[in-house]
Amino acid sequence: MCTRFFSSALLTTGCAIVLLSYLIYNRFSIKEMSPKPFENAEGGSVKLNSGYFMPIMGLGTYKLPEGAELGYCLDAALRVGYRLFDTAIKYGNEADIGMALESLLPIHNLKREDIFITSKIFPPKDNFAAEVEKGVGESLIKLKTSYIDLYLVHYPTYDVFSEEADQDPMNAERRKQTYLALQKIAQSGRIRSVGVSNFEEQHLAELEILNVPMPAVNQVEYHPHFIRKELHEACKKRGIVFSAFGSLGRMAPSLFQDEAVDKMATAMGCNKAQLLLAFAISQNIPVCPKSTKEERMRENFESYKFQLTDDKVKALEARDKPGTEGNYIRAYGWRVR
């Protein structure tokens, strides 16, 4: 009996040693074998070049109500299932979002690591590194968090509506120094992934020579009237996730009254907003629509259930307008030197 027990123990120990050796040999760890945060997010996720996963379904917070009303919006969003919240320094609502999430997460039985926060900073006009450090630091304090999941260079120059800023000869240096500063902060763990927004291919090309990781994300306006095919390909070539804002084109009549959009939505049994969001989601393009109403939030969130076939995607892509005619959002990265 003792001999059998001893042999069994040796066999068990031997198996454990073999398993441990296998794990070490393959450079795995128990932590790495576990599902990563957001890998199995409802609605899908994309893997960023930083190694982190990002939910495809996000809630945009630009021009959402302030204070307590914003809290009601986030409460509804968490109840619906949103786990990604997209904000920016420019939006002026980081503090309201931070306070709301601090109160709401325990109520929804969630922790900080259960949500994905995106914020953004415009390139400073001067004092680049110091201003970026200050901006990120203030974002962390206002959002009441020790890290931000994704931090974007909001625009390729310091002012979105200034022709003078568009043509400023210092723009390339501003972009470079802002991006490098964010990458340095990322090394400290206060930012998990660094990306950009409204960058054109020439702006992305500048970053390739910096000997630092390429952006994890490029967030741009995207819908059937503005598909940015060449920019999409430029991002794909560089391992950058092409991400969408303005998926509903600010409800532009020309987009919502497009005959192809109307017919396809009717045929698929969804509303037009859901179709426009599904157009991106079906291609693994993250979206961040905004709404203040829970019913509309739920409809938008459930857009991932309406998967478009390749033929349907191509049919909507054929509605693309020439040049920049389909630009419905006031963001004009292609004008920036």
**Given the structure tokens 């090309």, which residue do they identify?**
205
- Residue 81 one-letter amino acid: G
Catalytic residue chosen out of the listed positions 91, 155, 158, 328: 91
Rounded distance between C-alpha atoms, residue 280 and residue 12, angstroms: 51
Provide the pairing of β-strand 148-153 with 217-221: unpaired
Rounded distance between C-alpha atoms, residue 118 and residue 195, angstroms: 10
Provide the pairing of β-strand 116-121 with 191-197: unpaired
CB 227 within 8 A of CB 255: no
The DSSP element (H or E) to which 54 belongs, if any, is strand 53-55
Q: Which two tokens stand for residue 93?
A: 């609502």
Provide the pairing of β-strand 58-60 with 84-86: parallel
- Distance in Å from the first CA to the final CA of the chain: 83
Q: How many other C-beta atoms lie within 10 A of the C-beta of residue 174?
A: 21
**154 has binding-site annotation:** yes
DSSP label of 112: G
Closest CA to 132 of 98, 87, 174, 195: 174
- Helix or strand or coil: residue 145? coil
22 is catalytic: no
**HSE toward the beta carbon, residue 292, CA cutoff 13 A:** 9
- What is the gyration radius of the CA atoms in the chain, in angstroms? 23
CA 24, chain centre distance (Å)? 33
Give the residue numbers annotated as catalytic, written as ranges: 91
**Annotated binding-site residue numbers for substrate:** 154
